[in-house]
A and B are shown apart, each in its own frame.
Chain A
Amino acid sequence: MRQYSRELSVGLALGVLLVGLGVYAPAFYQAQPLLSLAARAAPTLLVACGVALVIICRQIDISVGSQFSVCSVCAGLLAAMHWPLALALPASILLGTSLGALNGSLVAGLGLPSIVVTLATMVTWREGLRWLREGAWVDLPEGSQWLGLSQSAGQCSLVLLSLVLLAALAWAMKYLAAGRFVYATGSDAQAARLAGLRPQAVTWAVFALAGALTGLAAMMNVAQSPQVDPNSGNGLELKAIAAAVVGGVPVSGGRGTLWGVFLGVVLLACVGPALTHLHVEAYWEKALQGVVILLAVIADGERRQGG
């Protein structure tokens, strides 16, 4: 029980927020807006899972936002060329994986600090995209939105897909040896090496996986609108890191669960709509999210001293 205390406290905070909304703003619980909210949060959830894995491995990836933009534009262009989803989706995932693997190679292979590597790739991809596309939006062909389904069916499938992936990843982190290797590498890479593991391979794989998830998330984002915004990934890395931290993944790595990350994503995603429904000005959203993050870090600090 104690090892999940953080997940419990985040869940409790979320529960209080949801009950509060139920009492003071029952309008929040309307099926369609709620589903839209969930569908918008689904890509963020996948990216946050990827980033959380990187953080558990005691690395950081701040380039996922730029990866997301690159993959979105690429997927949009493929869709505009009338590629079927069955080809555009793997292409987007593959592109994300290669971008992530490049980060992984630089960090694990050359031993460079991940904050510097991913800062460099973040700027390179973002500015490269701006130079290539000059900020132009990509118009998608008719009928490509919502995976070719009706809006609510499309939204449902996106949400469901992200939840299934979350469950699979969370299961893998607990019940696959590979998950154990990620925790071990993040706790102490040198100790992992002495235990006969290959921390560099683990680090590389985690970056590549984060890229793959970002590529998939980009496709899920493209499916939600008639146009692709080339800046859609801006700030996504911060959202993802914030969700991971709120969900109890310490920046020092080695601990944390993806269920916590899920709660973090949901909590942060609910803050904005909650404010609207409680008739607070929307300007407060970012500030309140910041407060939530600070509270999470403070809770971490207390636990460290206690432990």
Chain B
Amino acid sequence: MPPLLLLDAITKSFGAVRALRGVSFELQAGEVHALLGENGAGKSTLIKIVTGAHLPDQGTIVLQGRTVRSLTPATAHNFGIACIYQQPALFPDLTVAENIALRLEPGAAFRRVDWVVRQARATQLLSRIGARIAPETEVRRLSMPEQQLVEIACALGAQARIVLMDEPTASLTQTEQQLLFDVVRELRRSGVGVLYITHRLEEIFAMADRVTVLRDGQSLGTRKVSEVTESALIQLMVGREIAQLYPPATGQPGEIILSLRNVGCSAGGVHGISLEVRAGEVVGLAGLVGAGRTELARTIFGLTPADAGEIYLRGERVQVTSPQQAVARGIAYVPEDRRRHGVILELSLAANLSLASHRRLFPTTWLRSGAERALAFEFIRDLDIRGGDPDTPCASLSCGNQQKVALGRWLATRPTVLILDEPTQGVDVGAKSEIHALIRRLTRSGLAVLMISSDLPEILGLSDRIVVLRGGTSVSELPANSTAEEVMAAALGQADQA
């Protein structure tokens, strides 16, 4: 039986950049094939070639035994190729049923819409993947994981033979991931070929049958997952050995910097949260999506001010009612969703770095470009920001480097408390370990770090203590040497049994 999809010696260049240099690859029916590689390794380009968004410069594409000369999005669709992107591409103002219908129904403009059939099909597809979503819900009311489930329902409805998934778990919590994994396994059982792209190695070992590693636009070969180890894969991806995944904790933590007592915020849906962060330690904030982690961060930063409980900074009781006050008191918050909120894409690297510390850098309200450039060069060197000089717009940096800029902006304010929200989401393995090392280095200089992360290994590897939130309140505090199972049990509310 020929493979569902065969790519042979595909090359693709964008101007001077050679994104793919002769990649060969095959996908069998009924397998989950993981595609692994750092950002910029060529994964996205490969996906776009398979979906017909880009034409390869050279090489052949064979779909179900037939050589396809010029693959367009329409022909890809006819061959049963469906792609589920990291950010679901749904219409937010239309209902779930309408979104599914738009993908599946023919495109004639004046055909009559059969609402009963439309609704019934949506219900049936959603129940097949075990999603409890009402078809008449508007998509903008759905959470990110629910939107991804709708995307998968579309792929199912289109009778897709080949499903591409581009980092589908990037914004999901562990339970939601499990649900997604079940759906993927179900797809595999029904003979669909799944091409699965991820940064998270543990997912590959949990689900994939084979794995292909890309580096610098070249394939480093396909291996059976059962025959490789995690460290071997990392080594292949980055081309160097990452000695230690997580840097060790350093010394004894100092005085208590930030202390929350029964803090609540009705607007943010958090209540009764108590925790302490000492100088020089990383406190990991774990919990499911919706447990109130980001909401707590926003409350501490004054975006949704606390309306209950007490916040102490260095033992002094404070009221933080606006981000300006938070900055003035030495609290820094690096938000999640960096492409939207972390950096301002149109501004230059230097402008982004100085944006939160204008008062310190430019006491006269004049922007002294000398001071700003000096700051930019300092952070480019210290944080090892690559891919640009101070005048480069942030839009042209890679994800990992944008995150370093977002981090640098807040370090420039010389904070005493640093709140990190998903600091390495969507960042490749190499940049990830750099950011981890950086966080450790910062704590060594006395910074108190509160880190929110849905990446459980990251929480376990980097935190000195772990505070678990559930249902908008803090439920337990675990030591650094806790296991993933203990954290999950607390997050899910099974702490007593564990």
Contact = CB atoms under 8 A, between A and B. Distances in A.
Interface of A: 3, 174-180, 183-184, 187-188, 190-198, 254-255, 307
Interface in B317-345: 323-324, 326-327, 333, 335, 340-345
A143 B366 CA distance: 42
B351 A180 contact: yes
Contact of B356 (A3, A178, A179, A195): A195
Interface in B343-374: 343-347, 351, 355-356, 358, 362, 365-367, 369
Given A184-B355, A196-B324, A176 B365 contact: yes
Contacts of A193: 303, 323
A175 B326 CA distance: 26
B397 interface: no
A190 B323 contact: no
B442 interface: no
Contact of B341 (A175, A188, A254): A188
A191 B340 contact: yes
B346 A194 contact: no
B351 A194 contact: no
7 contacts: A175-B366, A175-B369, A184-B344, A184-B351, A194-B333, A194-B341, A195-B355
Given A190-B340, A194-B335, A183 B346 contact: yes
Contacts of A191: 340-344
A177 B364 CA distance: 9
Contact of A177 (B341, B346, B365, B393): B365
Contacts of B358: 177, 180
A184 B356 CA distance: 11
Nearest to A193: B323
A194 B302 CA distance: 10
B340 A188 contact: yes
Interface of B: 303, 323-324, 326-327, 333, 335, 340-347, 351, 355-356, 358, 362, 365-367, 369, 391, 393, 395, 409, 413
B156 to A, nearest CB: 33
Contacts of B340: 188, 190-191
B477 to A, nearest CB: 28
Contacts of A195: 323, 344, 355-356, 409
A180 B356 CA distance: 11
Contacts of B355: 180, 184, 195, 197
B338 to A, nearest CB: 9
A187 B344 contact: yes
Contacts of A3: 391, 393
B324 A187 contact: no
B346 A187 contact: yes
Given A177-B362, A180-B367, A197-B355, A192 B395 contact: no
Contacts of B367: 174-177, 179-180
Contacts of B351: 180, 183-184
Contacts of B343: 191
Give the secondary structure class of A's interface: helix
Nearest to A255: B346
Contacts of A190: 340-341
B379 to A, nearest CB: 15
A191 B339 CA distance: 9
Nearest to B365: A177
B366 A176 contact: yes
Contacts of B356: 195-196
A79 B365 CA distance: 38
B344 A192 contact: yes
Nearest to A190: B341
- Top 4 A-B residue pairs of the complex, sorted by shortest distance between their CB atoms: A196-B327, A187-B346, A254-B346, A191-B341
Contacts of A174: 367
A184 B365 contact: no
A307 B343 CA distance: 17
A255 B344 CA distance: 12
A187 B345 contact: yes
B126 to A, nearest CB: 31
Contacts of B346: 183, 187, 254-255
A94 B343 CA distance: 37
A196 B356 CA distance: 6
Given A188-B344, A254-B346, A194 B365 contact: no
A188 B326 CA distance: 20
Contacts of A198: 324
Nearest to A177: B358
Given A191-B343, A196-B323, 5 more contacts: A176-B366, A188-B340, A190-B341, A192-B344, A194-B323
- Most-contacted residue by chain A among B347, B356, B409 (CB, 10 A): B347
A271 to B, nearest CB: 30
A176 B367 CA distance: 5
B353 to A, nearest CB: 11
B462 to A, nearest CB: 23
A286 B395 CA distance: 37
Nearest to A253: B346
A175 B368 CA distance: 7
Nearest to A179: B367
Given A184-B355, A191-B342, A193-B323, A178 B365 contact: yes
Contacts of A187: 344-347
Contacts of B323: 193-196
A94 B142 CA distance: 48
A179 B347 CA distance: 12
Contacts of B347: 180, 183-184, 187
Counting chain A CB atoms within 10 Å of each CB, the highest count among B355, B362, B413 belongs to: B355
Contact of B303 (A175, A178, A194): A194
A183 B393 CA distance: 13
Contacts of B327: 196
Contacts of A255: 346
Contacts of A180: 347, 351, 355, 358, 367
A208 B497 CA distance: 62
Contacts of B413: 196
Contacts of A188: 340-341, 344-345
A179 B413 CA distance: 20
A193 B303 CA distance: 8
Contacts of B341: 188, 190-191, 194
A86 to B, nearest CB: 29
Central interface residue in B333, B340, B351, B367, by most chain A CB within 10 Å: B367
B326 A196 contact: yes
Nearest to B344: A187
B293 to A, nearest CB: 16
A193 B413 CA distance: 15
A3 B324 CA distance: 31
A211 to B, nearest CB: 22
A279 to B, nearest CB: 44
A190 B298 CA distance: 13
Contacts of B366: 175-177
A66 to B, nearest CB: 31
A188 B352 CA distance: 12
B494 to A, nearest CB: 35
Nearest to A198: B324
A255 B348 CA distance: 11
A127 to B, nearest CB: 35
Contacts of B324: 196, 198
